[in-house]
Amino acid sequence: MRYSHFFIPSLKEDPKEAVLKSHKLLLRAGYVRQLSGGIYTYLPLGLKSLRKLENIIRQEMNDAGAVELSMPFVQPLEIWKESGRDEDYGKELLRFKDRQDRDFCLAPTYEEVITDLVKKNVKSYKELPLTLYQIHLKFRDEMRPRFGLMRAKEFIMKDAYSFDADEKGLDESYKKMKHAYENIFKRLGFDFKFIKAEAGEIGGNYSEELMVFSEYGEDKIVICNNCGYAASIDEAESVSDYNGPLESCRQPRMTKLSTPDKKSVEEVAEYLKVDKSCFAKTIIYESEIGFIAALVRGDREINERKLKKAVKIKNLFLAKERDVEKITGAPCGFAGPFGLNRQNGHIGSNTGNDDADINADTGGNILIVIDEEINNSEYWITGANEKDWHMANVKPGRDFNFDIVADIRSVQFGDKCVKCQGILDVKNAIELGHIFKLGEKYSKVLNAKFLDEKGESKYFVMGCYGIGVGRTLQTLVEVFSDENGINLPVSVSPFALAVVNLNANDEKITEISEKIYGDLTFMGADVLYDDRKLSAGIKLKDIDLIGIPFKIVIGNRTVKENKYELEIKTNSSKESFDSLDALYLRIRQLIF
């Protein structure tokens, strides 16, 4: 392809709306353009790379025995109501009506549609196992789309769904898909790991995420470098061998301490000259069952997913300042666990009614949940529910009552592994794949059955396997880029190599450039020929920005010395050849 005939609207400066390096590069190099918040156009460069990435995924899925299809992006809302997930997805499910006043939605995922399809077309165990997949659009009405293709509203995913007769069959299908994923991401050159994960809205009884390590990843994963234990920060567990606050924290009895204008744990710890681990901090939340007070050690963070699981709720939000003041009787920063179950009056909940009573199911009480570490130790420092005061030597059960004890803390670096007692590390990562054992979750609610070998009606046993294709493309840019631009693998780069004519006004240089371009195209190489009548500096910078792996530069030196130079972007090296035959042989070795 001639550069002058292609459409590459590059930018000289980093776009203001972009934060991640990869987002900036995709915009600057002319791979994508934003149409609206979280909605992107793939420009010709981006589309070429996307299609190459899709083909790698397609090859491995086909080799694993999966069969490709394409399902409707627009789905009847009725099928979502049948499964009960229309409410689970909330506002992320974009609903609309057609001209006949029928309810529809844009597909955030495809479990309902694929289950309905197989239900109507597969009747016997003889047709199983069956794995179907597609590479298609999804839409989720994200509240805060950000980071380009990493968290967009409209995005491209590979979805696969397996149907088996029993759990043993599901295990086999799951292993095949997991192996296919390993092949895909090895081919892309990623440093990745499967970790145990929460199933979320998709559901099922077991799931794993495929995480790619990146310092810019918005996800955190916990890894034991000793035994290999790995889990998402939301699922990770650790051994607590905490022995309680230091002697310097201890008082002979519960004691009231003056802490003027000191609100945060850091401020109070510095003022009292104690460590942050001496504190049991109290955080007030609101939920569908009312208000919740959660306590963890002062140097830890509350894991909100663990807290939701412990209380068995779906929604959890930090309480508003005015509600915290009504519940505790003090400004934010002085909350403690004392007397919360004795609060009276009208306290706004997340029902939207600011004058509503605390949820009737709690009898006007505040549910108190404490982390295991808080229950296993004494001598805590807490807020006193009074401005400018804290309490010391606080003992759970003696000085305040609580409702639930659970692991509600986030694992942090230095914690001990639950499997081998080794030291845990916390790393940033990007989730690119998620695989699930769904079991009968969808086949039961949608009444999807087949006849087994005995002629008995059984529910399909299902698995689900997803890869964020657009997100994977941006992660390739995030991980494989340098100070000069994008640095994609040959298998995904929009063009395998570039021929750069440094002086399009010079007949001899142009003659050699045209010959090389023609020869390489005839060989079947995917070539971008920069034939523009621009300065050599602009051309070379543009090719580096686009991220083409190999570059042949044709200039005066080529004409005078009859030498041909090949630049390799991945290691910034150069190779020189005395003949075109030698150059072409090397190119065949590199790209075919």
Quote the pLDDT of residue 251. 57
Quote the pLDDT of residue 201. 65
Q: How far is CA 185 from CA 178, 193, 472, in A?
A: 11, 10, 9
pTM: 0.83
Domains of the chain with CATH codes: 46-71+107-236+427-477 (3.30.930.10), 247-406 (3.90.960.10), 495-591 (3.40.50.800)
Cα four-point dihedral sign 299, 301, 307, 310: negative
Q: How far is CA 341 from CA 318, 327, 367, 473, in A?
A: 18, 9, 8, 51
Supply φ then ψ for residue 402, to 5 degrees. Answer: -145, 165
Q: Please answer whether residues 270 and 279 qualify as being in contact, where contact means their C-beta atoms are separated by less than 8 angstroms.
A: no
Across all residues in the chain, what is the average pLDDT? 91
Length of the chain as a residue count: 592
Gap between the Cα atoms of 292 and 323, Å rounded: 12
Gap between the Cα atoms of 15 and 40, Å rounded: 15
Quote the pLDDT of residue 204. 73
Quote the pLDDT of residue 200. 65
The long-range contacts involving 199-203, CB below 8 angstroms and separated by at least 24 positions, are 199/436, 201/85, 201/88, 201/89, 201/109, 202/109, 202/111, 202/434, 202/436, 202/438, 202/464, 203/436, 203/438, 203/441, 203/442
Gap between the Cα atoms of 171 and 6, Å rounded: 48
pLDDT digits (tens, 9 = 90+) for 13-33: 999 889 999 999 999 999 999
Quote the pLDDT of residue 377. 85
pLDDT digits (tens, 9 = 90+) for 466-512: 999 999 999 999 999 988 899 999 999 999 999 999 999 999 999 99
pLDDT digits (tens, 9 = 90+) for 110-164: 999 999 999 999 999 999 999 999 999 999 999 899 999 999 999 999 999 999 9
Gap between the Cα atoms of 92 and 86, Å rounded: 10
Q: How far is CA 143 from CA 155, 216, 305, in A?
A: 15, 21, 19
Say how many CA atoms lie within 13 Å of 475 toward its Cβ: 29
Greatest C-alpha distance within the chain:
94
Quote the pLDDT of residue 357. 39
* Average pLDDT of adjacent 10-residue blocks, the chain of 592 residues: 96 90 96 96 98 98 98 97 90 96 97 98 98 98 93 97 98 98 97 83 82 88 90 88 61 83 94 92 95 96 94 92 92 90 38 36 70 90 94 91 94 93 94 96 97 97 97 96 92 97 96 97 97 96 95 95 93 94 96 91
Supply φ then ψ for residue 175, to 5 degrees. Answer: -65, -40
Query: Could you please report the per-residue DSSP string of 443-473?
Result: HHHTT-EEE-TTS-EEE-EEEEEEEEHHHHH
Quote the pLDDT of residue 249. 55
Quote the pLDDT of residue 468. 97
Residue 324: both structure tokens together: 């915290």
Q: Give the pairing type, strands 67-68 and 130-139.
A: parallel
DSSP annotation of 356 reads: P
